[in-house]
Amino acid sequence: NKPHSIIPSNGEEWYRQRQPMSQFMSVPRRVSIYHKGFNEVTSDLMNLIKQQRDQDNFILSDVVPFVFKWSFESVAQFVFGKRLGCLHLESSNSEGQLFINEIQHLFALIQDLMYYPVKLFRYIPFKKWKELLNSQTSVLEISQRWITEKEKEIDIFRQKVER
Protein backbone atom coordinates (compact mmCIF):
# COMPACT_ATOMS: atom_id res chain seq x y z
CA ASN A 1 0.00 0.00 0.00
CA LYS A 2 2.86 2.35 -0.80
CA PRO A 3 2.37 5.40 -2.98
CA HIS A 4 3.87 5.07 -6.42
CA SER A 5 4.03 8.65 -7.46
CA ILE A 6 6.82 11.16 -7.50
CA ILE A 7 5.45 13.10 -4.53
CA PRO A 8 3.26 10.93 -2.25
CA SER A 9 0.78 13.68 -1.36
CA ASN A 10 -0.02 17.30 -2.04
CA GLY A 11 -2.89 19.77 -1.86
CA GLU A 12 -5.76 18.77 0.41
CA GLU A 13 -4.25 15.37 1.23
CA TRP A 14 -0.95 16.98 2.26
CA TYR A 15 -2.81 19.49 4.44
CA ARG A 16 -4.95 16.75 6.05
CA GLN A 17 -1.88 14.70 6.94
CA ARG A 18 -0.03 17.63 8.51
CA GLN A 19 -2.92 19.32 10.31
CA PRO A 20 -2.65 17.32 13.58
CA MET A 21 1.05 18.24 13.90
CA SER A 22 0.35 21.89 13.16
CA GLN A 23 -2.26 21.96 15.92
CA PHE A 24 0.17 20.35 18.36
CA MET A 25 3.05 22.68 17.45
CA SER A 26 0.92 25.79 17.92
CA VAL A 27 0.73 25.25 21.71
CA PRO A 28 4.05 26.44 23.25
CA ARG A 29 3.77 24.46 26.50
CA ARG A 30 3.41 21.20 24.55
CA VAL A 31 6.47 21.93 22.46
CA SER A 32 8.53 23.21 25.40
CA ILE A 33 9.10 19.67 26.67
CA TYR A 34 11.37 19.11 23.65
CA HIS A 35 13.66 22.09 24.21
CA LYS A 36 16.41 20.09 25.96
CA GLY A 37 16.71 17.66 23.05
CA PHE A 38 16.60 20.46 20.49
CA ASN A 39 19.29 22.37 22.39
CA GLU A 40 21.52 19.26 22.38
CA VAL A 41 21.02 18.85 18.62
CA THR A 42 21.89 22.52 18.04
CA SER A 43 24.97 22.28 20.29
CA ASP A 44 26.15 19.25 18.33
CA LEU A 45 25.69 21.20 15.10
CA MET A 46 27.77 24.08 16.42
CA ASN A 47 30.51 21.70 17.59
CA LEU A 48 30.59 19.97 14.20
CA ILE A 49 30.84 23.31 12.41
CA LYS A 50 33.70 24.35 14.70
CA GLN A 51 35.53 21.11 13.88
CA GLN A 52 34.98 21.38 10.13
CA ARG A 53 35.63 25.03 9.39
CA ASP A 54 38.86 26.26 7.90
CA GLN A 55 41.28 26.95 10.75
CA ASP A 56 42.92 29.90 9.00
CA ASN A 57 39.88 32.05 8.30
CA PHE A 58 37.15 30.21 10.22
CA ILE A 59 35.00 29.77 7.11
CA LEU A 60 32.88 26.74 6.39
CA SER A 61 32.90 26.11 2.64
CA ASP A 62 29.44 24.51 2.44
CA VAL A 63 26.94 24.83 5.25
CA VAL A 64 24.03 23.07 3.48
CA PRO A 65 24.97 19.48 4.45
CA PHE A 66 25.30 20.55 8.07
CA VAL A 67 21.91 22.27 8.11
CA PHE A 68 20.37 19.23 6.42
CA LYS A 69 21.79 16.96 9.14
CA TRP A 70 20.65 19.36 11.86
CA SER A 71 17.10 19.46 10.50
CA PHE A 72 16.86 15.68 10.33
CA GLU A 73 18.34 15.27 13.80
CA SER A 74 15.78 17.78 15.10
CA VAL A 75 12.86 16.04 13.41
CA ALA A 76 14.00 12.63 14.65
CA GLN A 77 14.37 14.01 18.17
CA PHE A 78 10.80 15.26 18.02
CA VAL A 79 9.09 12.44 16.12
CA PHE A 80 11.01 9.38 17.31
CA GLY A 81 12.50 10.68 20.56
CA LYS A 82 15.91 9.54 19.33
CA ARG A 83 19.00 10.91 17.72
CA LEU A 84 20.19 9.75 14.32
CA GLY A 85 23.85 10.30 15.13
CA CYS A 86 24.49 12.42 12.04
CA LEU A 87 26.17 15.37 13.73
CA HIS A 88 29.38 13.56 14.62
CA LEU A 89 32.45 13.17 12.45
CA GLU A 90 32.28 9.38 12.62
CA SER A 91 28.61 9.25 11.50
CA SER A 92 29.15 8.47 7.82
CA ASN A 93 28.03 4.85 8.24
CA SER A 94 25.13 5.43 10.62
CA GLU A 95 21.58 4.49 9.74
CA GLY A 96 20.70 8.15 10.18
CA GLN A 97 23.28 9.17 7.60
CA LEU A 98 21.98 6.46 5.24
CA PHE A 99 18.48 7.92 5.73
CA ILE A 100 19.72 11.43 4.95
CA ASN A 101 21.57 10.17 1.85
CA GLU A 102 18.40 8.45 0.62
CA ILE A 103 16.30 11.58 1.25
CA GLN A 104 18.80 13.75 -0.64
CA HIS A 105 18.86 11.27 -3.51
CA LEU A 106 15.07 11.18 -3.49
CA PHE A 107 14.85 14.99 -3.64
CA ALA A 108 17.30 15.09 -6.55
CA LEU A 109 15.32 12.45 -8.43
CA ILE A 110 12.05 14.27 -7.77
CA GLN A 111 13.57 17.39 -9.27
CA ASP A 112 14.62 15.47 -12.35
CA LEU A 113 11.32 13.66 -12.85
CA MET A 114 8.58 15.95 -11.60
CA TYR A 115 7.61 17.34 -15.01
CA TYR A 116 7.01 13.96 -16.61
CA PRO A 117 3.53 12.42 -16.42
CA VAL A 118 3.59 9.50 -13.96
CA LYS A 119 1.70 7.27 -16.44
CA LEU A 120 4.70 7.46 -18.76
CA PHE A 121 6.83 5.48 -16.31
CA ARG A 122 4.49 2.48 -16.56
CA TYR A 123 5.38 2.09 -20.23
CA ILE A 124 8.94 3.38 -20.37
CA PRO A 125 11.01 2.10 -17.43
CA PHE A 126 13.39 5.02 -16.88
CA LYS A 127 16.43 4.26 -14.76
CA LYS A 128 15.77 7.33 -12.62
CA TRP A 129 12.17 6.22 -12.00
CA LYS A 130 13.42 2.86 -10.70
CA GLU A 131 15.96 4.68 -8.52
CA LEU A 132 13.18 6.91 -7.18
CA LEU A 133 11.03 3.90 -6.26
CA ASN A 134 14.04 2.24 -4.59
CA SER A 135 14.82 5.40 -2.62
CA GLN A 136 11.20 5.75 -1.55
CA THR A 137 11.24 2.13 -0.41
CA SER A 138 14.47 2.63 1.58
CA VAL A 139 13.12 5.77 3.27
CA LEU A 140 9.85 4.01 4.11
CA GLU A 141 11.63 0.92 5.47
CA ILE A 142 13.94 2.94 7.73
CA SER A 143 11.06 5.15 8.88
CA GLN A 144 8.88 2.12 9.58
CA ARG A 145 11.68 0.51 11.59
CA TRP A 146 12.00 3.65 13.73
CA ILE A 147 8.22 3.88 14.14
CA THR A 148 8.08 0.23 15.23
CA GLU A 149 10.86 0.86 17.78
CA LYS A 150 8.92 3.83 19.18
CA GLU A 151 5.69 1.83 19.34
CA LYS A 152 7.49 -0.88 21.33
CA GLU A 153 8.84 1.74 23.76
CA ILE A 154 5.33 3.15 24.21
CA ASP A 155 3.90 -0.34 24.80
CA ILE A 156 6.56 -1.08 27.43
CA PHE A 157 5.82 2.25 29.14
CA ARG A 158 2.07 1.53 29.10
CA GLN A 159 2.62 -1.91 30.64
CA LYS A 160 4.69 -0.40 33.44
CA VAL A 161 2.06 2.27 34.12
CA GLU A 162 -0.79 -0.24 34.16
CA ARG A 163 0.88 -2.44 36.81
> Higher model confidence: residue 153 or residue 92?
153
pLDDT at 141 exceeding the cut of 90: yes
* pLDDT value of position 83: 84
pTM over 0.85: no
pLDDT at 41 exceeding the cut of 90: yes
Integer Cα distance of 91 and 110 in angstroms? 26
Mean pLDDT of 48-70: 81
